[in-house]
């Protein structure tokens, strides 16, 4: 049951929001409510994380659970990008160890269980509707929430709000703080169960004229394949119940032969709009935004989960400073986010500039306009 007043309300139950809940409850005695519009255990997109992720999981106190979670190491990437033959990027030489392919449901459950164990309250299937500033500014905000099962609105007072709503940045939007968006892509994702066959443990990337493809084998006999392109090409991918999507993957140099070795079943298809953008301010009076809410990246960066966990840990420090009334509680987080986003833009531009086989194609021209 949702109470009427909390010290901290976290909007969003992805890695960023859950990490924030853990960090805050570990560092303070603040009452914490986390709400998320999705159902408990619902599958989320994002199944790879870099080697450095384990360092963050140790700080959150879940490293042992992570190692027991059925996740699998990833030896590296194989890609056809900027040339017609595969290239390889291995993680063997990384001092932090291998990258990881996640059982995403188990990963999310691990974080949620830890957050609840630390004393955070979680309300799944709960939508954030609106926010108004409290008449006493020091008392934060009044949030309007709706529990789907009850279909009834409730008002909750939050002395401090953390926007972890993903790329929509829903709470910041209610404050008329909107992202500066510099790119928009669409990802069509297929999740499948592996019935028969064996494939490479490497993550596979491959460019084509109108975008790029991604393919990976996951724990628990799951397979994910993705095509990232512009909106005008979605109709072709969706033709004949996504036969256009399947035909495109089968025509590729690297991913096509890999898929031919696999017998897939129970496939489901999902389409997501992906906007690269950053909020002009990451924090304000009694609120902050973290993860994709404050800065959303092109999936080519493969930084979503790591960024979310890192920001969640920083949210713990922010709330601790706020509770202790430190003068520097308006941390350097906004400047850090701005710097990180600049680094991301340069790295993304570098990756897209490596592909020059379709120099006149609209997709690649649009991605290569940023300076290196």
The tens digit of pLDDT for each residue in 67-83 reads 999 999 988 889 999 99
Residue 40, token pair as written in the block: 């408990």
The candidate with the shortest Cα–Cα distance to 15, out of 39, 46, 52, is 46
pLDDT at 57 over 60: yes
pLDDT at 369 over 80: no
**Pairing between strand 32-35 and 121-123?**
parallel
- pLDDT value, residue 349: 92
- pLDDT value, residue 138: 82
- pLDDT value, residue 330: 55
| Region 216-239 average pLDDT | 96
| Alpha carbon of residue 247 to chain centroid | 28
The candidate with the shortest Cα–Cα distance to 307, out of 282, 330, 271, is 282
pLDDT at 127 over 70: yes
Question: What is the chain's length?
Answer: 372
Sequence-distant (6+) residues with CB within 8 A of 284 are 175, 177
Are 304 and 193 in the same domain?
no
Grouping H, G, I as helix, E, B as strand and the rest as coil, residue 11 is: strand
* Candidate from 125-139, 183-197, 204-218, 323-337 with smallest mean pLDDT: 323-337
Running DSSP on this structure, what letter comes out for residue 39?
P
Are 218 and 331 in the same domain?
no
- pLDDT value, residue 43: 82
On whether the CB atoms of residues 274 and 168 are closer than 8 A, the answer is no
Q: What per-residue string of b and e applies to 83-111 under the rule 16 or more CB within 10 Å gives b? A: eeebeeeebeeeeeebbbbbbbbbbbbbb
| Bigger pLDDT: 6 vs 51 | 6
- pLDDT value, residue 96: 77
| Region 107-115 average pLDDT | 98
**Which residue in the block uniquely carries the two structure tokens 């996640």?**
102
Are 232 and 139 in the same domain?
no
Are 63 and 206 in the same domain?
no
- pLDDT value, residue 144: 97
Are 128 and 164 in the same domain?
yes
* Candidate from 45-49, 159-163, 185-189, 216-220 with smallest mean pLDDT: 45-49
- Is 65 part of a structural domain of the chain? yes
296 confidence band (pLDDT: 50, 70, 90): very high
- pLDDT value, residue 62: 98
Domain stops at, among 257, 274, 291: 274
The candidate with the shortest Cα–Cα distance to 123, out of 28, 9, 279, is 9
* Candidate from 5-14, 25-34, 195-204, 271-280 with smallest mean pLDDT: 195-204
What is the domain count for the chain? Answer: 2
Sequence-distant (6+) residues with CB within 8 A of 126 are 2, 35, 36, 37, 145, 146, 147, 148
Are 156 and 196 in the same domain?
no
pLDDT at 11 over 80: yes
Sheet holding 76-80, edge to edge: 87-90, 76-80, 203-208, 211-218, 222-229, 180-196, 263-278, 295-296
pLDDT at 218 over 80: yes
Domain stops at, among 228, 258, 274: 274
> The CATH number of the domain where 42 resides is what?
3.50.50.60
186 confidence band (pLDDT: 50, 70, 90): very high
Domain limits for position 309: 5-71+98-180+275-342
Q: What average pLDDT does the structure give for the chain?
A: 93
């Amino acid at each position: 049951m949702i109470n009427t007043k909390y010290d901290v309300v976290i909007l969003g139950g992805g890695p960023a929001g859950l990490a924030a809940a853990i960090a805050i409850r570990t560092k303070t005695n603040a009452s914490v409510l986390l709400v998320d519009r999705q159902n408990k255990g619902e599958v989320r997109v994002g199944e790879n994380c870099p080697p450095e992720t384990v360092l963050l999981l140790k700080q959150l106190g879940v490293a042992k659970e992570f190692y027991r979670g059925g996740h699998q190491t990833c030896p590296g990437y194989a890609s056809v990008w900027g040339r017609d033959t595969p290239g390889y990027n291995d993680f063997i030489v990384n001092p932090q160890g291998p990258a990881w392919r996640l059982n995403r449901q188990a990963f999310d459950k691990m974080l949620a269980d830890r957050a609840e164990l630390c004393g955070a309250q979680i309300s799944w299937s709960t939508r954030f509707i609106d926010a108004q500033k409290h008449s006493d500014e020091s008392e934060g905000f009044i949030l309007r929430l709706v529990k789907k099962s009850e279909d009834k609105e409730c008002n909750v007072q939050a002395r401090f709000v953390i926007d972890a709503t993903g790329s929509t940045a829903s709470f910041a939007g209610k404050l008329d703080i909107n992202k500066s968006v510099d790119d928009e892509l669409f990802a069509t994702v297929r999740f499948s169960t592996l019935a028969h066959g064996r494939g490479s443990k490497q993550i596979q990337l491959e460019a084509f004229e109108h975008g790029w493809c991604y393919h990976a084998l996951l724990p628990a006999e799951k397979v994910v394949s993705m095509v990232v392109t512009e909106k005008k090409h979605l109709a072709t991918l969706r033709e004949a119940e996504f036969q256009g999507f399947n035909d495109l993957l089968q025509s590729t140099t690297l991913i096509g032969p890999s898929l031919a070795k696999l017998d897939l079943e129970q496939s489901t298809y999902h389409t997501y709009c992906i906007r690269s953008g950053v909020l002009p301010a990451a924090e304000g009076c009694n609120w902050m935004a973290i993860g994709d809410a404050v800065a959303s990246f092109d999936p080519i960066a493969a930084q979503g989960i790591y960024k979310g966990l890192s920001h969640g840990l920083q949210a713990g420090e922010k709330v601790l400073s706020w509770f202790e009334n430190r003068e520097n509680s308006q941390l350097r987080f906004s400047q850090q986010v701005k710097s990180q986003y600049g680094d991301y833009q340069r790295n993304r531009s570098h990756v897209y500039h490596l592909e020059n086989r379709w120099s006149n194609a609209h997709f690649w021209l649009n991605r290569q306009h940023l300076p290196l």
